[in-house]
């Protein structure tokens, strides 16, 4: 298994077109042939404070090049393991088409993209965009079997309806919980005042949600949290970047202090990858222009690439 | 006529709550009693590149405090004139209520605000938000007599419909031109490729629009441009901050090089104030977080305050 | 108890005039009728490195809107408690008048404001400005009974006099300790080299101060620290934002690495609210223009609103 | 000729992978089949003040999406002309491979790319990178016939050798002038102290260079400047972004006040396109991270797309 | 006359300690032996909007290194002249000592520094700091013969007293006009509302000031403006960076649109250097942290170095 | 032992020329007479992602002034110790001369500087620049006795050669390990994918390296880590700022999440100072322009000054 720079270009991180991980771009969604397909969902009309998540996909792609050194996989000395060997085929299928002023059609286009990835048998990875993009993602799983949702987030996102709004970024988990194919939710990192009021928490619990704060997660540990997900559940992970502490993820619309540090999330993801089939994921709310250091986008890319590594390492081991 | 600091506080620009020009805040829209009413319209789902104009109203208000020194009016040594004496009553009525994900209801709320200002007999001043907020502003003028629109902008904004979108920030002038009470448009500063294609220009001209580029305006001069507006026309001014050169207005969604410098716009506004009844205005597309220097917001505040000075100086002189 | 959006506007965080928490603005200081009054003290001539804290009040007000969703209080799922129900009346009284070049008169105006809040029976909350604004705050407590000061800060601020300076931001705790009505100080978070030299530490200890570093606080825990405050003491809290780690509070004049993370401070404040009467507070040294992410201002707003919630929850429970 | 959004996606500027102008990416340099080929040259070890031009290609590509609305060409109402109709085939061939620490090999890789574009019969467009990348560009023209160089720049870039350095960003025009196939240089915008000392100016003039300052260009006008280029000359254009005024191009390594405004350069480029065969171009020294407003990158993209429009309009008219 | 890099180090702009122009640092003010002495006056408590000018000296020094290439003087091809040959001895004497909270003592220390430079026979160059630092500069000229002041500024700075403030940055020209040794003022660039009200303009004219706006200067031309200064007058130049357009000088406390472009100021300075003895200068109000592009500081350094070149070229020619 | 402000200037941090710690500048490297000599190495052509470390020395010097209050040493209340009393003589010798485009000569100049410091008997402290500057630093120790290297870093930096590159910032530890006088390496903080692939780790271990991740260090504790360094070893410390968490050190070229917090590194350095002779150090990869908050530079200065304090406290105690 050769490193790509042995035979071709050195291809330093700052060189070249920014697809996700510098992987091939597949423009025709009927021709996806890969283990993983990555799609952007640059929609941010669902936000309630700062916008800008529309540039999330571009910035995460750009940041992902930092982790592209042309090696034949990503060696991790702690695990003594090379993740994402060349046998794991990842493609970037570009972005869902977004229609300004029109939430319904934009969401529909996102759903179409996820359906295409699922139809191709690829693991769908969606980069938001605000958290409302999770709504069409979950809708696309209709007919794909039961799923459990693991949400890492500062906010519960369980608003039912307010002033007629049902599909804003404060509602995705409510919309998910309503779906027959969503059998449960584990919501981790939830803290502070947000668009969800007390009644939202009560509704979530009534609909079977397991709500954990950052401090509660710290007491349980990563293993303890993941152990609360039903055995055998097929898990969809939705990762709102504001689940992290603003110290490492300030580039987001509604930052909330007191969030997770890096290893806390990494270890939950490694644990869920070991113990469950992961059937899809989205990473949302990166608003890169609020972080001139680019740390937020780098975090998003680093987490996604590591999580994909864990998933396919677990699959390979089975 | 006393300067306010003679009897009260020094009230330096950096001190105090940021209403527009530190003028009184009127929360109850049924109780507007003023010559000028200023309202924010923090809507930006109509944008096609960078969002962030939702923070336009806050930042323009904050910047406007720089021009608030507690003097009894604003003395201009070039004109040897004190503009905006205390007899001109300006109020800030806060923002129109914006509903995330919902363009129609957000626009409706903006229209309600402009109607309230008009009903009170105040000159309506709307701070955007993206240029789509002009659509409900113009709708609110139904039944208020005929108007002519003076648009200062980089873009023609004359898209009819595309992918079902009719009320995005690329369409306000088309929507305006369709109104029976809009008798003509003067569109100045138009340049470069934008969301309006050739057919939009043809339609605009067919619907009676007078289109001028920056270089064409420079040849005509401010007086020459304003002389093309029909005599006696009651004029509504819509000022897209991207009509200016990005050198002084980088904080906007779709910057376009080659725009106007400060005095070019100032002099057109002074000229229109001298020669026409100005019946309303909006200033749109300030996206402050893209300009860490705050120059864009300062420009917006400076232009608005000067224009108001010119208008009421002209009214006083009649 | 209704959420405000049920009957009126949705009033998203990015909409509306930025008073603290979008609470009513009371311009006439003789008419304060509230449980809590918030005043800005935008003074920063007392700084020894970066200025800019004059924009602290504006930025903290703006950030505080992020936590204003129109709910009937702030539900905290960890405590299963709704803080700050509508029965807690909070007002914003604007800023103390600051006189450039003149420290003495600026400080005097701050003192006047705090006296007005105290006279009205409101809990005074002052947003700086640099830490020297604490000096007039403490002076305003003359005749208000004995107090104990809990300071959370990177720096001891115990300089007596240097080059004639006695009221800079390096001296407030020394000035406080000299007051007969200040019975003791607990100074937490103190670390690194600063304007206070060894003799300042010796003087502080001699004057009855209890000095704790970040690491010492971590060993004691929040409860352990607060237990060192004399039982029954009425506590005034002065919170210098640089007590926090620069990772979450870079927007300050003299950052010092190794500071507190979010929950450490939150838990000390919750503990002091439970065990003591809190009689006033200031939050100082937010210099927002050094933090383009706005994390610092959001932190300040989040901490203040939570602390107020704890205080009135404790009062309600008594 | 259909607009692409009529049949497919709306494809707003903020949507999709960032190739230049969202044009097709051709990875295999032996398969370039286009009228124009765009290549990045992200090399910046040749800089003498601020680095960062290595991110020029990425940022110019990203900015170029602002001008991609899916129209069937770019309509210019001043010229009443639709530039860049779909018949002009533009491709993006990615970046030359850059080898950190190694100037010689990095330059060699750039030369290889330009040779590939020339071999394919495409007009080569190179986006730097610092101005030293012009050296391999000009070397690639060996055997391609005689050329004249039009340089728009603040600096003469005519250093022969200093401390052994012959291929830094202060020397490209000297290196070009030495080539037998370079028959002359027109150097416009030159001003202020720089790495070229008096002897460099003398050498340039001796080697046949025509040196013009910004003020001299203003006196001559765009037509007057271009008229000084020998009739019939085949022209290669090298555009250093610091030729522009820092007001619109602050994102560069060595800004120099007093530079060109937008139309001055645009009109020189339009004039040269009308009167000469343009055989290649590079645009260098965009260091995007020094311009948080992105104005510099937008300027670069806007100028390149307009210039390409002028060139192919002229070719079509012949 | 050798270039320094011929015999020693290449000494690129980004290398080395940042004194002004990389000139020698003279710590002992009794040992100044130079033609020009440069001193920082990092005082900003006199500001009425944004602070931060305290970092003006550091940033202008840092920016000045961009113009330091080790050449034996600065060759200007437009004038065909090498300015600032090594025979012109320039030293940096560091900063005046600033005392936080104490305007009077800080100003006194600035005065001491200027007196030291004058006593040594060096041309004093003071880098602010806010414009109030001009007050001690002018005071230091007592007993040095009559002077005329040429002020380039957006603001008249002619406030007599307000709320007891007489030495803030709104008053320096009033304070100067009161001095017996100041025989007249030429105030150029004045525009827009500021801290000076109508009565200030009337007082200025009564005290012999010649007030010109930007547009008036443009009509007169640089020569026309300088021709209004009495023949034979010894001129002190005070240059407020906000006299420039915010497009090139956004890094300042109180930006005002409509200011000067680069050559307008440069040519006035060249003209005054040709026609008058220049006896001192200050450049104030650079607040670098409001300009992340560093353009403002680069402008300040570029203007100062060119002006010094003009002055000593004129002296040499006499 | 007097504080300097008792007899002279107050000399606040924002005042004065920025040498390291405001210590004396020694231009002539043959006249270094000090305990510690600090040199900048502003070289960054060895970087593989973001450049900009060339401004590391300037920014760390500037940040170091924050810790310069003129006290007679730095009092630490936790240790009850005054570090860096005036008896410890520190000088700043400026920067090594960097030659753009030329890695070999730039590195050679750095080596010359370190040799000069060693020859003078001063402890050499080098501020980078990218990590490749460590290569000439270690080369300068030839003939100085055996050393052990303690590296704190996110990356192993153990690339042997790729595309001919042997002296980029991915290779310094490999180059060091090859030196006969380097007897061992302790590499702490290593994590995530980087330019070193699996074979680099294997080679490092084979060459005697002890590799520890952040989480492994946390398990061992600072004492546990330092205990793994052979007793009696003379230690050279190379500190890559990206060893820290991006939350406090975002201003670097290749940030890597999951890094060290402040006290973790501080305590390792305090421990190594107590137990070993420290013979030299470099601190590299500060790219200040990627951190507009300046936190990264402040961290670098704070760590360096504390480490020097620990070293000389240990020496004094022996």
Q: pLDDT at position B2, please? A: 64
Specify whether the backbone of F143 is left (phi greater than 0), alpha (psi in -120 to 50) or beta: left
Q: pLDDT at position C2, please? A: 64
Contact (CB<8Å) C69/A257 = no
Residue E210 phi, psi dihedral angles, 5° rounding: -110, 110
Percent of chain B scored above 90 by pLDDT?
A: 92
**D78 closest CA partner among B191, B208, B260:** B191
Q: CA C219, CA B226: separation in Å to the nearest integer?
A: 73
Q: pLDDT at position A32, please? A: 98
Is the separation of the CB atoms in A277 and A150 below 8 Å? no
Average pLDDT estimate for D6-33: 94
Q: pLDDT at position F8, please? A: 85
B-chain residues within 8 Å CB-CB of D262? 245, 257-258
Neighbours of chain A (3+ CB pairs under 8 A): B, C, D, F
Average pLDDT estimate for B279-297: 98
Average pLDDT estimate for D42-67: 97
Strands, E assignment, chain D: 36-41, 74-76, 81-83, 90-95, 123-128, 147-152, 182-188, 209-212, 234-240, 277-284
**Which of A153, A192, A195, A288 is the best substitution to test chain C (most C C-beta atoms within 10 A)?**
A192
Average pLDDT estimate for E285-305: 98
Q: pLDDT at position B4, please? A: 74
- Chain Cα centroid distance, residue C65: 18
Is the separation of the CB atoms in E86 and E34 below 8 Å? no
Q: pLDDT at position C5, please? A: 72
- Cβ-count burial B113-143 (b if 16+ within 10 Å, e if not): bbbbbbebebbbbbbbbbbbbbbbbbbbbee
A-chain residues within 8 Å CB-CB of F248? 247
pLDDT tens digits along E217-227: 999 999 999 99
Contact (CB<8Å) A17/D94 = yes
pLDDT tens digits along F161-181: 999 999 999 999 999 999 999
Residue C309 phi, psi dihedral angles, 5° rounding: -60, -45
Structure tokens at F243: 């060893």
B-chain residues within 8 Å CB-CB of E215? 78, 263
Q: Which of B250-259, E166-175, E192-201 has the lowest mean pLDDT?
A: E192-201
Of C14, C25, C96, the CB nearest to B55: C14
Measured CA to CA in angstroms, residue A44 lies from A96, A240, B109, C23 at distances of 13, 13, 20, 28
> Which chain E residues touch F if contact means CB-CB below 8 Å?
9-12, 14-19, 25, 40, 42, 54-55, 58, 61-62, 92, 94-100, 292
Domain D11-317 is classified in which CATH homologous superfamily?
Ureohydrolase domain (3.40.800.10)
Question: Cα angle vertex F250, ends F248, F252, to 5°?
Answer: 125
Q: CA E29, CA E111: separation in Å to the nearest integer?
A: 13
Q: CA F82, CA E217: separation in Å to the nearest integer?
A: 60
Is the separation of the CB atoms in D205 and D211 below 8 Å? yes
Structure tokens at F63: 């940040």
- What is the SS3 assignment for F29? helix
Task: List average pLDDT for each run of 10 residues in chain A, which is 318 residues long.
Answer: 75 97 97 98 97 98 92 91 95 98 97 98 98 98 98 97 96 98 98 89 96 98 98 98 98 98 98 98 98 98 98 91
What distance in Å separates residue A48's CA from the closest CA in chain B?
A: 7
Predicted confidence (pLDDT) at residue D15 exceeds the cutoff of 60:
yes
Q: CA F175, CA F158: separation in Å to the nearest integer?
A: 8
Q: pLDDT at position A2, please? A: 65
- Chain Cα centroid distance, residue E262: 15
Measured CA to CA in angstroms, residue B16 lies from C129, C137, E49 at distances of 13, 18, 12
Structure tokens at B227: 């002389």
How would residue E71 be classed by pLDDT, with cut points 50, 70 and 90? confident
C-chain residues within 8 Å CB-CB of E159? none
Q: Which of B135-139, E243-247, F72-76 has the lowest mean pLDDT?
A: F72-76
For helices C295-317 and C262-275, the axis angle rounded to 10 degrees is 20
Predicted confidence (pLDDT) at residue E120 exceeds the cutoff of 50:
yes
Residue B160: CB partners within 8 Å, gap ≥ 6?
B166, B171, B174, B200, B203
Average pLDDT estimate for B179-187: 98
Q: CA B19, CA B8: separation in Å to the nearest integer?
A: 19
Q: CA E246, CA E251: separation in Å to the nearest integer?
A: 8
Predicted confidence (pLDDT) at residue E200 exceeds the cutoff of 70:
yes
pLDDT tens digits along D169-191: 999 999 999 999 999 999 999 99
C-chain residues within 8 Å CB-CB of E51? 44, 51-52, 54
Q: pLDDT at position F317, please? A: 83
Give the number of D-F residue pairs with CB atoms closer than 8 Å: 69
Contact (CB<8Å) A257/C292 = no
How would residue F3 be classed by pLDDT, with cut points 50, 70 and 90? confident
- Considering only residues C6 and B214, tell me which one the structure prediction assigns the higher pLDDT: B214
Predicted confidence (pLDDT) at residue D21 exceeds the cutoff of 70:
yes
Q: pLDDT at position F2, please? A: 63
- Mapping DSSP onto H, E and C, the string for chain C reads CCCHHHHCCCCCCCCCCCCHHHCCECCCHHHCCCCEEEEEECCCCCCCCCCCHHHHHHHHHHHHHHHCCCCCCEEECCCCEEECCCCCCEEEEEECCCCCCCHHHHHHHHHHHHHHHHHCCCEEEEEECCHHHHHHHHHCCCCCCCEEEEEECCCCCCCCCECCECCCCCCHHHHHHCCCCEEEEEEECCCCCCCCCHHHHHHHHHCCEEEECHHHHHHHHHHHHHCCCCCCCEEEEEEEHHHECCCCCCCCCCCCCCCECHHHHHHHHHHHHHHCEEEEEEEECCCHHHCCCCHHHHHHHHHHHHHHHHHHHHHHHC
Contact (CB<8Å) D25/A15 = no
- What is the SS3 assignment for B52? coil
Contact (CB<8Å) A50/B55 = yes
Q: Quick one: DSSP state of residue B23?
A: P
Q: CA D231, CA D233: separation in Å to the nearest integer?
A: 5
Strands, E assignment, B51-122: 74-76, 81-83, 90-95
Residue C289: CB partners within 8 Å, gap ≥ 6?
C52, C55, C251, E50, E52, E289, E290
Residue A294 phi, psi dihedral angles, 5° rounding: 70, 10
Give the number of B-D residue pairs with CB atoms closer than 8 Å: 86
Element (H, E) at A128: strand A123-128
Q: pLDDT at position C317, please? A: 82
For helices E214-226 and E262-275, the axis angle rounded to 10 degrees is 30
Residue D162: CB partners within 8 Å, gap ≥ 6?
D170, D195, E5, E10
Q: pLDDT at position B192, please? A: 87
Q: Quick one: DSSP state of residue A254?
A: S
Q: CA B166, CA B159: separation in Å to the nearest integer?
A: 8
Contact (CB<8Å) C15/B99 = no
Q: CA E286, CA E295: separation in Å to the nearest integer?
A: 10
Predicted confidence (pLDDT) at residue D3 exceeds the cutoff of 80:
no
How would residue D1 be classed by pLDDT, with cut points 50, 70 and 90? very low
Is E231 buried (19+), middle (13-18) or exposed (0-12) by CB count in 10 A? exposed
Q: What share of chain A is helix, strand, coil (3-state, %, to 5)?
A: 40, 20, 40
Residue with tokens 């040199």: F39
Q: CA E85, CA E72: separation in Å to the nearest integer?
A: 6
**Which of A53, A198, A252 is the best substitution to test chain C (most C C-beta atoms within 10 A)?**
A198
Average pLDDT estimate for D103-114: 98
Residue with tokens 């025509």: D210
What distance in Å separates residue B66's CA from the closest CA in chain D?
A: 22
Counting Cα atoms < 13 Å in the Cβ hemisphere of D165 gives 33
Q: CA D34, CA D88: separation in Å to the nearest integer?
A: 8
**Which of D192, D196, D251, D288 is the best substitution to test chain E (most E C-beta atoms within 10 A)?**
D192
CATH of A4-317, one of 3.40.800.10, 3.40.50.300, 1.10.10.10, 3.55.50.30: 3.40.800.10
Q: pLDDT at position E1, please? A: 45
> Which chain B residues touch A if contact means CB-CB below 8 Å?
44-48, 50-52, 54-55, 99-103, 105, 132, 163-165, 167-169, 289-290
Cis before C74 (ω within 30): no
Percent of chain D scored above 70 by pLDDT?
A: 99
What distance in Å separates residue D163's CA from the closest CA in chain B?
A: 38
In D65-102, alpha helices (H): none
What distance in Å separates residue E120's CA from the closest CA in chain B?
A: 40
Predicted confidence (pLDDT) at residue C1 exceeds the cutoff of 50:
no
Residue F189: CB partners within 8 Å, gap ≥ 6?
F152, F153, F154, F212, F213, F214, F217, F243, F259, F260
pLDDT tens digits along F207-251: 999 999 999 999 999 999 999 999 999 999 999 999 999 999 999
Radius of gyration of chain A measured on its C-alpha atoms: 18
Q: Which of A204-208, B252-256, E97-101, F195-199 has the lowest mean pLDDT?
A: F195-199
Q: Quick one: DSSP state of residue F237?
A: E
Q: Quick one: DSSP state of residue F259?
A: -
pLDDT tens digits along C17-36: 999 999 999 999 999 999 99
> Pairing mode, if any, of strands D36-41 and C209-212?
unpaired
Q: pLDDT at position F71, please? A: 80
**Which of F197, F248, F256 is the best substitution to test chain A (most A C-beta atoms within 10 A)?**
F197
D-chain residues within 8 Å CB-CB of E69? 48, 193-195, 197
Of F14, F42, F98, the CB nearest to E54: F14
Question: CA-nearest residue of chain B to A162?
Answer: B99
CATH of F12-317, one of 1.10.3720.10, 1.10.1040.10, 3.40.50.300, 3.40.800.10: 3.40.800.10
> Which chain A residues touch B if contact means CB-CB below 8 Å?
44-48, 50-52, 54-55, 99-103, 105, 132, 163-165, 167-169, 289-290
Structure tokens at C50: 């970066």
Q: pLDDT at position F33, please? A: 98
Question: CA-nearest residue of chain F to A265?
Answer: F258
Q: Compute the residue count for chain F.
A: 318
Is the separation of the CB atoms in A234 and C236 below 8 Å? no
Sign of the Cα torsion D195, D169, D165, F44 reads: positive
pLDDT tens digits along A82-127: 999 999 999 999 999 999 999 999 999 999 999 999 999 999 999 9
Contact (CB<8Å) B10/C99 = yes
Cis before A129 (ω within 30): yes
Q: pLDDT at position A96, please? A: 98
Of D49, D165, D291, the CB nearest to E66: D49
What distance in Å separates residue A56's CA from the closest CA in chain C?
A: 16
Is the separation of the CB atoms in D187 and D204 below 8 Å? yes
Predicted confidence (pLDDT) at residue D5 exceeds the cutoff of 90:
no
Question: CA-nearest residue of chain E to B306?
Answer: E192
What distance in Å separates residue F264's CA from the closest CA in chain E?
A: 31
């Amino acid at each position: 298994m050769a490193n790509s720079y042995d035979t071709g270009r050195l291809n330093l991180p700052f060189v070249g077109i920014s697809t996700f991980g510098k992987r091939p771009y597949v423009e025709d969604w009927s021709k996806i042939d890969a283990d993983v397909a990555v799609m952007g969902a640059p929609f941010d009309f669902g936000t309630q404070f700062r916008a800008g998540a529309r540039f999330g996909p571009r910035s995460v792609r750009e940041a992902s090049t930092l982790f592209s050194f042309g090696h034949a996989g990503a060696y991790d000395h702690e695990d003594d393991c090379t993740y994402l060997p060349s046998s794991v085929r990842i493609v970037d299928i570009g972005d869902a088409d977004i229609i300004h002023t029109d939430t319904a059609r934009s969401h529909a286009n996102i759903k179409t993209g996820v359906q295409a990835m699922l139809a191709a048998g690829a693991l769908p990875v969606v980069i938001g965009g605000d958290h409302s993009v999770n709504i069409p993602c979950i809708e696309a799983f209709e007919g794909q079997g039961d799923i459990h949702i693991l949400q890492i987030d500062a906010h519960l996102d369980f608003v039912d309806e307010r002033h007629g709004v049902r599909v804003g970024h404060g509602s995705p988990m409510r919309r998910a919980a309503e779906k027959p194919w969503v059998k449960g939710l584990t919501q981790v990192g939830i803290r502070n005042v947000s668009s969800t009021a007390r009644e939202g928490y009560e509704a979530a619990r009534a609909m079977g949600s397991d709500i954990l704060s950052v401090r509660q997660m710290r007491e349980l540990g990563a293993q303890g949290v993941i152990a609360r997900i039903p055995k055998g559940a097929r898990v969809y992970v939705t990762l709102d970047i504001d689940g992290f502490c603003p110290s490492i993820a300030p580039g987001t619309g509604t930052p909330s202090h007191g969030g997770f540090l890096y290893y806390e999330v990494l270890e939950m993801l490694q644990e869920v990858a070991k113990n469950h089939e992961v059937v899809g994921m989205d990473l949302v709310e990166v608003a890169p222009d609020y972080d001139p250091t680019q740390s937020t986008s780098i975090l998003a890319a680093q987490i996604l690439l590591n999580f994909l590594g864990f998933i396919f390492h677990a699959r390979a081991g089975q």
